Structure 1
Amino acid sequence: MPEKIRISSSHWLLIIALLAAAFACYLLIEPYINSIVMAFIISMLMFPIHNRIATKLPKHQNIAALISCFILTVIVVLPLLTVFGAIVQQGSKFSQSLYHWVTHGGIQAFFNHPLVDKAFNFANHYLPFDSLTPQQISEKLANFSTSFGTKLVGISAKVLGDATNFIMDFFLMLFVLFFVLRDNDKIIGSLRHIIPLSRSQEDRLLTEIEQVSKSAVMGSFLTAIAQGFAGGIGMWLAGFPGLFWGTIMGFASFIPVIGTALVWVPATIYLLVTGDINWAIFLAIWSIAIVGSIDNLLRPFLMQGSGGMNTLMIFFSLLGGIQLFGLIGLIYGPLIFAITVVLFNMYDEEFRSFLSWQDKN
C-alpha cells in the first residue's frame, strides 16, 4: 500500500503549470486532432495485419510499420479514386437523361398522371403553402436539368481543389499511424504510467475505448457501405445509375431516422407514376426488405460492443456526435458516451460503501 501523498502548494503549482502546458499543446495540435484520433482508431483495426507482418520481421519494426501503412493506402486511396471517377461519369449521364426526359414531354406526362394531379389538389387545398402548379415545377426542373451537369463539374472541381487538404490530412494520419504501430507498447505504457488509476481500471478504460472505437467504425461506416452497395444494386436493376445512386444512398444512411429512404422513396414514386409499376413495387420491397434490414440488423450487431449502451443511448450518441463534430462524430459520440458509462461504473465501485450508507439514511 503506497504512502498517502500530501499535496503541498508546490504540488498545486506543478499541476496548474502542467494543465496550462497541456492546454497550450492542445491548441497547437487542435487543427490536426481528427487525423491524430483517426490514426489511433485505425491502428486498432490494423493491428491484426500489422502483428502478422511484425512477426515475420521481428528486427525491422520500421519496415513492418511502413508496409502496414502502404497496405492501408492501397485499400483506401485506389477504391476512392475509382469510385469518384465512376460517380462523375454516371452523374453526367444522369443529367443528360434528365434533360432529355424534361424536354421531350416526359415531365408533362408525369404531371398528367391522375395520382400526381390528386397530389397537387391535396397540397394546394390543405397545405399552408403558396399555390403549386405543374408549370412552375417544370420550369425549375428544366433549369435544374440544364445546370446539373455544370454543377456536377463545379462540385468535381471543388473536390479536386480540396484534394490537397485531403491528401495532407491523410498523409498526416499515415505519419501518426506509422509511429503508433511501431511504438504501440511504449505509448500504452506511458499512458498507463501517467493515468492515476489502478491497473484493473486502466485495463477496463483502454479496453472500452478500443471496443467502442472498433464498433463505431464498423457499425457506421460498414453499414453505410453495405446499404450503399445493396441500394445501388436495387437502383441499377430498376433502371437507374447504380453506382451514382448507391453512393448517394450510402451517404444518406448516415442521416438518422430518414436514411436511405431519402433516395429510394422518390425513385419508387417516379417509377410508379411513369407506369413502371412492377419495378416500383420491386424497388420498394428491395429497399425495405434488403436495404432496411441491413440498418436494422447489421448496425446493432456491429455496435453491440459499445460499452453496454442501450439502443436509445447509441441513437443519441450518433445524433449528437454528428451535430457537434460532423461526420467524425459517428465515432466521437459513442466513444464519449461509453467512456462516461465506464467512469460512472468505476465511481460506483469506488464509493459503493458510501453510496450504500447514503441510501440507508
Structure 2
Amino acid sequence: MRIRTSDLITPALGLCAILAIFMMAWQVMRPFIGAIIWAAILVLVTWRPFVLLRGYCRGNGLIAGLLMLLALSCLLLMPLVIGGSQFVEQAGALVVRLRDAFSHGWPELPNWLANLPWVGQPIQRHWQLLGQGDPELMAKVKEYASPVASFLLSLLAALGRGVLELTLSLLIALVFYLEGEHVLRWLRALMVKIAGTRGDELLGIAGSSIRGVVNGFVGTALVQGALAYVGYLIAGVPNAATFGFASCFLSVLPGGPSLLGLPVAAWMYHNGSSGWAIFIAVWMVGLVGSADNVVKPLLIGKNSDLPFVLIMFGVLGGAASMGVLGVFLGPTMLAVFYALTKGWLFDGITDPIPAGATMLKVPEAGDEAEK
C-alpha cells in the first residue's frame, strides 16, 4: 500500500505541536520545580498530622491547612529569618568595631592569639608586616580578600533565595493539603500509565523512601543535638542547652555541629581551660560528627528495602549532584531503580539459586537425580 506524504505530515505536525506545548509548559514551570518538590516532601511527611488535625477541625481542610502552615513556618522559616537577620546584624557590628579599632592606628593582636603554640608567632609577624604596609604581604591580602568578599556576598544571596523558596514551598504546601487526594489520583494515574500494574507499588516505594530520609535527618538531628548538649554540659559550657539546640539545627549541614563546637573549644582555650577545650574539640568532631554517618543510614533503612550501601550512595551522590534536594531525591531514585531492576531480573524465577549451590559449583541435574 502506497503511503501518501499528507498521511505523514499530519501526525508529524501534531507531534511537533505536543512537544512545543510541553516545552513551553516546562519553561513556565521550571522556576517553581524546586519549590514544588520541597512542598511535596513536606506534605508527604506531615500528611498524617494534617489528617488528624482536620478531624479535630470537623473536616475543615482550610483551617487545618492554615494551622499546619503556621506550624511549619514557625519550625522552618522563622529560624532561618532570625538567623539571617542576626548574621547581618553581627556582621555590621563587627565592621563598626573594626573601624573603631583601626581609627587609632594599627592595633595589637590579642594575647591569646599571639601566644598560640606553633602558629601564634608567625601570625604576629605577618600582622606587624601588614601594619607596616609591606607590599608583598598587601598584595597577598588583596588577592585573598576578593574571594572572601565574593563568598560572603554569595552566602547572603543564597540565604535570601532560600528564604524566598521556602516561603513559596509553604504556600504550595497549603494547596497540596487542600487538594492532596486529587493530586494523588493524578500521580497514581501517571504511574499506572508508565509502569502498568506496578505503578502503585513504585509510588509506595518512592513515598516510603522520602519518609525514611526525613526520619533519618530528624533522628540524626535529635541524636547529635543530645550528644552535643551532653558534651557541653560535661565541660561546663554556659547555656549548654542553647548550644545543643543550635547543634540540632546545624546537623542538616555535613559537619554542622563541629562548626559550633570548634569556636566553643577555642573560647575555652582562651579562658585557660585547655583540657576541656581539647575534650570539646574531640567530642564534637569525633563523636558527634561521626554519629551522622551511622544514625542517618540506619534510620533511613527502616523505611526502605534499599541495601545499606545504596542508601549511602543515594544520600551522598544525591547531595553532590543536586545539593540539599538531592539528599531526598537520591535515595528515592535508587529505591525505585532497585525495585524495577529486581522485579525485571527475578520475574518468573521462584528459586534463582538452587539448593546446595556454592560460589564454585552449582549442582547439576544428574547430581539431584542421584540423591
Q: Does 1:21 align with 2:21?
A: yes
Please provide the CA RMSD for this pair.
4.9
Q: Does 1:46 align with 2:42?
A: no
Which moves more between the two structures, 211-220 or 60-69?
60-69
| Separation (CA, whole Å) in 1 of partners of 2:200 and 2:122 | 65
| Separation (CA, whole Å) in 1 of partners of 2:329 and 2:128 | 44
- The higher-RCO structure (CA 8 Å, 6+ apart) is 1
Q: Does the 8 A contact of 1:91 with 1:244 survive in 2?
A: no
| Separation (CA, whole Å) in 2 of partners of 1:168 and 1:134 | 41
The verdict on how the C-alpha distance between 1:252 and 1:198 changes in structure 2, with shifts beyond 3 A counting, is closer
Normalised to the residue count of structure 1, the TM-score between the two structures is 0.66
| Separation (CA, whole Å) in 2 of partners of 1:238 and 1:211 | 41
- How many residues matched? 321
What residue number does 1:336 align with? 333
1:319 to 316, 321, 325: 316
Q: Does 1:66 align with 2:63?
A: no
Normalised to the residue count of structure 2, the TM-score between the two structures is 0.65
What residue number does 1:174 align with? 170
| Separation (CA, whole Å) in 2 of partners of 1:259 and 1:164 | 20
Structure 1 residues 178-220: Cα deviation after superposition (integer angstroms, max 9, x where no partner): 2211222221112222332577522221111111112222323
Secondary structure at the aligned position of 2:324 is classed as coil
Q: Which has the larger radius of gyration?
A: 2
Q: Does the 8 A contact of 1:35 with 1:169 survive in 2?
A: yes
Q: Does the 8 A contact of 2:44 with 2:211 survive in 1?
A: yes
Q: Does 1:291 align with 2:291?
A: no
Which moves more between the two structures, 81-90 or 201-210?
81-90
Aligned AA (1:343): L
What residue number does 1:309 align with? 306
The verdict on how the C-alpha distance between 1:304 and 1:328 changes in structure 2, with shifts beyond 3 A counting, is same
What residue number does 2:297 align with? 300
| Separation (CA, whole Å) in 1 of partners of 2:200 and 2:11 | 28
Mapping 1:1-361, distance limit 5 Å:
18=18, 21-84=21-84, 103-110=109-116, 113=117, 116=118, 133-136=122-125, 138=127, 159=156, 165-195=161-191, 196=193, 201-220=198-217, 223-224=220-221, 226-227=223-224, 230-231=227-228, 234=231, 237=235, 247=246, 251=250, 254-255=253-254, 264=261, 276-284=273-281, 286-287=283-284, 290-292=287-289, 294-305=291-302, 307-350=304-347
| Separation (CA, whole Å) in 2 of partners of 1:42 and 1:140 | 54
Q: Does the 8 A contact of 1:233 with 1:246 survive in 2?
A: no
| Separation (CA, whole Å) in 2 of partners of 1:322 and 1:15 | 36
Q: Which runs of 5+ in 2 are unaligned?
A: 1-6, 102-106, 132-137, 354-363, 365-371
| Separation (CA, whole Å) in 2 of partners of 1:175 and 1:330 | 22
The verdict on how the C-alpha distance between 1:47 and 1:246 changes in structure 2, with shifts beyond 3 A counting, is closer
The verdict on how the C-alpha distance between 1:262 and 1:84 changes in structure 2, with shifts beyond 3 A counting, is closer
Aligned AA (2:46): M
- Identity value in percent: 19
Q: Does the 8 A contact of 2:84 with 2:159 survive in 1?
A: no
Shift of 1:336: 1.9
